[in-house]
Structure 1
Amino acid sequence: MSKYKNIQYLETKEENKTVEVNGYLLHSKYKPVKEATDHFKRSFKAGQVYVLFGIGLGYIVEVLESNQVKKENIIIIDPLFQELRSMMQIDISNIDVLSEVSSLKIENVLSSKIKNYERNIQVICSPNYDKLFPHEYKSVLENVRNFQKNNQVLENTTYNFSEIWQKNYMYNLMELDKSTSFENLKGKYTVPIIVASGGPSLSKNLPIVREYRNKMILVASGSTINTLLTAGIPPDYVVSVDGGEANYVHFKNINQKEIKLIYNLSSNYKIQEDWKNEKYAILDSGDLEVQKYIKKVFDITIPCIPGGASVANFAFSCALNMTTGPVALIGQDLAYTNYETHAHNNKHYKKIDEEYMQERGMFEVEGFYGDKVLTDRALFLMKQDFERLYTYFNDGRVIYNCTEGGARIKNMPQQSFKNFCEKYMLEEKSIYLTEEKNIIDRKKVCKSLEKELELFDNVEKNLKKIEKLIKENMTTFLNKPAIVAKLNSVDQDIIKLKQSSMINYILDPIILNIMTKFKEKDNETWEEKNNRIYKQNKFLYANLLIVIVETKGYLQKILEEFENE
């Protein structure tokens, strides 16, 4: 039986029905279609994805469609949907409908609609749904707002790091024959793996780590290695994914022979150049094209594993791949526990103040102990990635958050680190050893890289011609089919180059700009359209030339390296 006991369908003056639920009308008694039209006009913004919180009998959907809003740009979230759907006279096929408010489902459906990190989402609350479902409505608004802010973070990251990512991915190719594929570590352990991160709560758990050190595999998340070494606790493995120079500084003076490195090809290439001990290569789950390229050119398979916004997400994923035994997180606060940024012996440790809180845009989330703790957008994004990874890996696995502080990781079981150790640390560890370095046919690699360079040379030459051609035809751009044909020809060359090389991340900011900053305006005149397309193409090909030349330089250095060794 429905929990909404007072659902009544009433006739209106428009000969349509309205519905009353628990005393609240979901549509006007007089003109429900006009009410929906007026409601839409107040909320209308061109080019939006519409999240409809509540649709009642569906008049708002009809209004959206009559105003040329495509079904694929509509999302319905309605806790009453199952109760009311039999009375709806609308076609909702090809519209995403959620009958419950679920953060994960909302995020997934928004991700399927929103491309290029855009934030063009409009929430429309149908009449009285906010009164019937105040908590659910607040949750929808928070989820949409979080999605938009997360996309802002991801967009900024793309603009700021695409160039260094491209360089790292390519220069790390020179380390492949000095590395071992992470594939060799999969399922090699049965003992517990502890993933240590540098949050404020790590300090209190270090004595317990020391006590049980010989019964665990200890994995350090990035710069946390320095915190552990300062405490006299070398980890067995350290994971590195961050591409910036600051990450290299963290690793610069580490010379511990017993520590093995697991690195994503995005990791600052100087770390891998300097690392003399055993090292294992991984790729992110989104790097399938890179994986194919490496297999084709180097005949090596580098596994793609799910990661996230931080090195800690990757370390967690690596641990779950490496052992069939229990896995626990420590120091993974994802918040500013006790108003601190890091564990006490971390060189970045500081106490936060009001100014720092405002600068980071901090907000409260549920804490490990059910309290409220301060976090920021970057940490919150990491938290969401842990929740996604836990759902992905949780197939009867023993996984615990033993941070004992910071933010709660939704759905992940919690317990004290001491209890975890007493229960699961039952046998001495033994470290898996391998000398199986990747084997590369250098002559074959060099031949392949030489062919790539020829493609780069050809595209560079044609882009220089196109740049001149665009400049000479500014005012009559749309009237010159011959120009369009030449542009299409160059586009095909670039597509061929992208399919045959590893030019990927450095193109992302160009694509983002093209997709977001040259949109067609309403009622655009011929002159405005010509000017817009001229500027778009001028921007596109000028920037393509820059990145082609830059990436070709990386490729030349790699070829020289393999020719000279």
Structure 2
Amino acid sequence: MSQDFNIEVVTSKSSLPTLKVNDYYLHSKYDPKKEAEQFVNNHFAENKVHILFGYGYGYFAKAFKDKCKENEHLLIIDPIYKEIESVITQEDFEIISDVNEKNIEMALGNLLKDLNLKVKVICSPNYDKFLSKEYKMVLKIVKEILSVKKIYLNTINYFAEMWQENYIRNIYHIFEDESLSVLENYYNMPVVIASGGPSLIKQIPLLKKMQNHVIIIAAGSTVNTLLHYNIEADFIVSVDGSLANFKHFENNIFENSHLIYSVKNHYDIKNQFKKSSFSFIPVFEPGVYEHIEQMTQKQLPTLLGGASVANYAFVIAQYISSGPIALIGQDLAYTNNQTHAKYNKYFANIDDDDKKIRGTFYTEGYNGDKVLTDLPFTSMKKDFENIVESINKKGRFFNCTEGGVKIKGFTQISFSDFGEFIDLSEEKNLNLVQKANTKTINDWENLCFRIQSEIQIYNEIEKLLNKGLVYLEGSLVKEKFTSNVLKGLEQVDKKIKKLFKTVSMNSILDPIIIDIINNYPSIKGETEQENYMRVYNQNSSLYKGLLNAIKLSKIYTKDLLEKVKKEKLGGV
């Protein structure tokens, strides 16, 4: 920090030390401890994450910490902490002194793991007087983090059942297809990742010239733009489980492209591909790896990704090839007021009303100019930058979009300059043999047995949940949890927890768990009866939510069983 600070330790009227910075008192001149108690009583909010801007001598921080309960947290940010730490009595606090987006996002992200978006920012007295710029920066960063988290939370709530259905139905394809692990470090060739930004169109002529000499990976919906220009990608990456994503593929039969898909990709997309396909697990899918191995007898790689299919395409490019990698069409901006490249089914021109609805703003562009973007695009950009930062071999990554936002960590060169890495005299050979179906009748029968075992586990969980509801209903008579009820519920919960570890239901359970955590907070001063009703409603809502999730998962799993029997075992 370039700003100079005149820091003084001053003794208050109550003999406690206080701080003075650039003639501003950070605490009371009379009784800083009493002031802190009053300050916290005025600003403390139950069941929230508190962000305190300004540590000072620590009085406010200590008073907040003493008031926080188990589900309440305190994050302290102080840009001048390193300047003052030598003159104060230090307490055991973790303090962010290097104020930047990454540090705040990491610290706040750890406190919002349960997706509780209840956050309150409090500025210690006078800190906003001499650190106005930094305080405004913190407010802006926190607002952006919470906006992205809210989008993620809405996504979870909207797609939970869809993801569960895709996952279960995709077991059929995963069992039959290859694991992406067979392509790990398989190639040493240049890779071009084509994404669906507006700038893709101007790179099409050169891509057509290169297409027989580089590996082309298409990111999801980009396929229709490429097909319009008679370019069929070697690999098409798809991770989106929505019906809208399937619509990009439904009218096409891909004769030459290989699909690379995540386990929760829309299950019907696989049927549009004639050649071999490959599956993987996104790294943020707890419990899936073990379940997939149990069900399909395969080990799928877990890959880091992000908010966009293009993030996954980039990681996959590194996974399968050691050659240089170029991004094209990766605008992450509304270039020419367009959402996508032409012939993408999402293509649209945006007007001023659209810009307001999308919450657009300007940011640094590829060419050093200012370009129009929004929070979802910014989230994808950050994911690219985080992925690059986690990789050692950064010199082989090139952003050849020639438009859109500037993405840190990528070398910016023109697409024609990337051509210098390509040997046009050598035709590419993917060397992928279309394998005959090597699964035997016995293999499919064994899969059926494992599916039937899964259905039996669902039945057992269903019985236990109904038993738990009976215990809860019994407690209503006395409006309290008797020792027998508590013991019964404890046994039910213990058995359910054990059984849930043997199935994979994280996607469909997430909204239920988030609801239980966030919507039944303890209330200050609640009576014994109010406490009973809150806990009763919380547990009742949990069991009923889990019952619905089990019933849906059982339907999808029975459908999977019937599909295997009908298509592979002659309807047996």
What band does the TM-score fall into relative to the shorter chain? Answer: over 0.9
Which residue identity lines up with residue 496 of structure 2 in the other structure?
I
Match of 2:561 in 1: 559
CA distance in 2, matches of 1:37, 1:374: 46
- Match runs of 1:173-322 below 5 Å: 173-322=171-320
1:522 has 2:524 as partner: yes
CA distance in 2, matches of 1:507, 1:246: 23
Deviation by residue 1:156-179 (Cα, 9 ceiling, x = unmatched): 111100101001011000012331
CA distance in 2, matches of 1:426, 1:84: 62
- Match runs of 1:79-228 below 5 Å: 79-92=79-92, 95-228=93-226
CA distance in 1, matches of 2:272, 2:209: 32
CA contact (8 A) 2:172 2:560 kept: yes
Deviation by residue 1:529-556 (Cα, 9 ceiling, x = unmatched): 1221222222222222222111112222
Which residue identity lines up with residue 355 of structure 2 in the other structure?
M
CA contact (8 A) 2:254 2:274 kept: no
**RMSD over equivalenced CA pairs, Å:** 2.5
CA distance in 2, matches of 1:417, 1:531: 64
Match of 1:330 among 328, 331, 336: 328
CA positional deviation for 1:400: 2.2
Which residue identity lines up with residue 431 of structure 1 in the other structure?
L
Match of 2:476 in 1: 474
Match of 2:457 among 446, 455, 458: 455
CA contact (8 A) 2:261 2:279 kept: yes
Match of 2:57 in 1: 57
Which residue identity lines up with residue 452 of structure 1 in the other structure?
E
Match of 1:419 in 2: 417
CA distance in 1, matches of 2:423, 2:199: 21
* Cα 1:479–1:11 shift into 2, 3 Å: closer
Match of 1:13 in 2: 13
> Structure 2: any 5+ residue segments left out of the alignment?
none
The range that moved more, 135-144 or 504-513, is 135-144
CA distance in 2, matches of 1:499, 1:100: 41
CA contact (8 A) 1:248 1:268 kept: yes
CA contact (8 A) 1:188 1:322 kept: yes
CA positional deviation for 1:492: 2.7
The range that moved more, 235-244 or 200-209, is 200-209
* Cα 1:52–1:439 shift into 2, 3 Å: farther
CA distance in 1, matches of 2:476, 2:139: 45
CA distance in 2, matches of 1:211, 1:20: 68
CA contact (8 A) 2:275 2:434 kept: no
Match of 1:509 in 2: 511
CA positional deviation for 1:250: 0.8
The range that moved more, 411-420 or 298-307, is 411-420
CA contact (8 A) 1:96 1:109 kept: no
Match of 2:544 in 1: 542
Deviation by residue 1:309-360 (Cα, 9 ceiling, x = unmatched): 1211111111111111211221112221221111123232221112212222
* Cα 1:3–1:381 shift into 2, 3 Å: closer
* Cα 1:276–1:41 shift into 2, 3 Å: same
* Cα 1:373–1:474 shift into 2, 3 Å: farther
CA distance in 2, matches of 1:347, 1:555: 32
* Cα 1:457–1:72 shift into 2, 3 Å: closer
1:350 has 2:338 as partner: no
The range that moved more, 369-378 or 173-182, is 369-378
1:40 has 2:40 as partner: yes
The range that moved more, 305-314 or 393-402, is 393-402
CA positional deviation for 1:25: 4.0
CA distance in 2, matches of 1:260, 1:365: 36
- Match runs of 1:345-424 below 5 Å: 345-422=343-420
CA distance in 1, matches of 2:331, 2:384: 12
TM-score of the superposed pair, with normalisation by structure 1: 0.92
* Cα 1:274–1:490 shift into 2, 3 Å: farther
Deviation by residue 1:23-74 (Cα, 9 ceiling, x = unmatched): 5443444443344444434432122222222212222212213434679822
TM-score of the superposed pair, with normalisation by structure 2: 0.91
Please state whether the residue corresponding to 1:4 is helix, strand or coil. coil
> Structure 1: any 5+ residue segments left out of the alignment?
none
CA distance in 2, matches of 1:253, 1:42: 61
CA positional deviation for 1:198: 0.7
Deviation by residue 1:460-490 (Cα, 9 ceiling, x = unmatched): 2333344455445435342333333333333
CA positional deviation for 1:302: 0.8
* Cα 1:137–1:255 shift into 2, 3 Å: same
CA contact (8 A) 1:467 1:541 kept: yes
CA distance in 2, matches of 1:412, 1:43: 44
* Cα 1:11–1:432 shift into 2, 3 Å: farther
CA contact (8 A) 2:220 2:309 kept: yes
CA distance in 2, matches of 1:548, 1:274: 30
CA distance in 2, matches of 1:562, 1:250: 27
CA distance in 2, matches of 1:289, 1:510: 17
CA distance in 1, matches of 2:438, 2:264: 19
CA positional deviation for 1:365: 2.6
CA contact (8 A) 1:181 1:438 kept: no
* Cα 1:221–1:448 shift into 2, 3 Å: same
Report the count of equivalent residues. Answer: 563
The range that moved more, 167-176 or 245-254, is 245-254
CA distance in 2, matches of 1:392, 1:18: 43
* Cα 1:124–1:221 shift into 2, 3 Å: same
Deviation by residue 1:210-267 (Cα, 9 ceiling, x = unmatched): 2322332111110101111112221111101111111111111222322111000111
